[in-house]
Amino acid sequence: MTDRTYGYRGAIVCWKTSESNHRMIADAVANLGPQFKECRCGAPTPASAMRWALSEVVEPDVKNHKILVRDLKDAKDKAFVVVQEDPKMRGDLRFRQRYIVMLYSGHHFDVSPALSPTQEVTLREKFIRYMDCLPSTAVGVCLADVIRTMGAIPLRESGGVYWVPEEKLLAWKQFAAEVERAGENKVYNLTVQADDDMIRCVADNLVVMATGQIDEVMKELDKEEISEATVKSRQSKLDFLYGQVRNFEEAFQYSLDCLKPRVEEARSSLALYNLMESSFEETIEE
C-alpha cells in the first residue's frame, strides 16, 4: 500500500440486483439516449413468470427448496413441469414433480393437480404481474451493458465492479437511481481518493480489456473478406477504446505507453484495410 493520494478520480461502482419492473428498466435505458440502444434490458419469459407466481401462491413457506420450471419439448401447447429441488438429496431423488402447467394465449393456463379457485385467481394475477418483471440476473446484464457503454473499466473479469470516469458519474447516478426504484436493487458509487493501488488496478484491467478487443479485431483483418458493416463496427469499437485510454491518462496523469501504440496500430490497420477495399471496388467499377 502507499500513502500517496491523487484526489478524487471518478468512482468505483458495484451493485446488488433483484427482480425488477421491466418497463421501468427499459425506460431508464431509453432516457440515456440513442447510443445506448444496444444495451440489453431483457424481457420476461412465461417460464420465469410462472415460476415466480407458483413459488408465491402455491409454495409460500418453502425456504430450502427452489421451484424450477422446465419446458416440455413434445407438448402441443406451451407446457412446464414444475419440480421441487432438495439440495440435501442426490441424483433422481433431488427432484420431485409438483405440478404440470399448460399455458395458452391470453395468459390462460391449466394447472395439475388442480388449485383452489382462490389460488387460481391469485396465481393468474401474479403471473400477469411477473410478465412485466425482470429477474435479477437480467438486471445485472443491463447495468453492465450501460456502464460499459459509458466507458467504465471492469475491475474483475466476471464484471460487477467498475471504475467510472468523473465526467460520466452524473449520468450514471441518475440511471442507477431509476434502476433502484424499479426493484430492490442497490447500486453503490464509491467515491474515494485515488492512490497508487487504485491506479494500478484500473490500468491493469484496462490493458487486459483493450488487449482482448485489439486481438479480436486483428484476427478479423486476417480473414479474406469482411463486410463493410463489420469494418465500421470495429472502427467504432477501436475509437471508443482509444477514448477510454485517453480518459484514463487524463484522469490519473498516468501514461499507458504499453497500450497506446497497439491501439493506434489497430486503428491504422483497420483504416488501411478500409482504404484498400474502397480502392479495389473503384477499380472494378472502372
Whole-number mean pLDDT of the chain?
Answer: 82
Would you state the pLDDT for residue 145?
95
Q: Considering only CA atoms, which of 127, 170, 157, 209 is closest in space to residue 11?
A: 170
Helix (H) or strand (E) holding 161: strand 161-164
What is d(CA 245, CA 251) in angstroms, rounded to the nearest whole number?
A: 10
- Give the mean pLDDT of 196-221: 89
Would you state the pLDDT for residue 83?
72
- Give the confidence band of 150 by pLDDT, cuts at 50, 70, 90: very high
Grid coordinates in use for 31?
A: 432516457
Q: How many CA atoms lie within 13 A of 130 on its CB side?
A: 23
Q: Considering only CA atoms, which of 22, 53, 34, 219 is closest in space to residue 121?
A: 53
pLDDT at residue 126 is higher than 80: yes
Across-strand partners of 102? Answer: 79, 110
What is d(CA 18, CA 221) in angstroms, rounded to the nearest whole number?
A: 41
Would you state the pLDDT for residue 163?
95
What is d(CA 252, CA 128) in angstroms, rounded to the nearest whole number?
A: 50
Across-strand partners of 66? Answer: 85
pLDDT in tens, 95-118: 777 778 887 766 678 888 888 889
What is d(CA 140, CA 20) in angstroms, rounded to the nearest whole number?
A: 11
Q: Considering only CA atoms, which of 281, 283, 264 is closest in space to residue 228?
A: 281
Across-strand partners of 189? Answer: 13
Q: What is the largest CA-CA distance in the chain?
A: 78
pLDDT in tens, 45-69: 777 777 778 777 876 544 445 666 6
- Give the confidence band of 278 by pLDDT, cuts at 50, 70, 90: low
Residues with Cβ within 8 Å of 128's Cβ and at least 6 positions away in sequence, in order, are 107
Would you state the pLDDT for residue 275?
65
SS3 252: helix
Whole-model pTM over 0.85: no
Residue type at position 98: R
Alpha-carbon torsion, ordered 49, 133, 138, 238, to 10 deg: 140
Per the CB < 8 A criterion, the answer to whether 221 and 269 are in contact is: yes
pLDDT, greater one: 144 or 224: 144
Grid coordinates in use for 36?
A: 445506448
Alpha helix (H) residue ranges in the chain: 22-30, 46-57, 117-130, 136-149, 169-181, 196-221, 228-252, 260-285
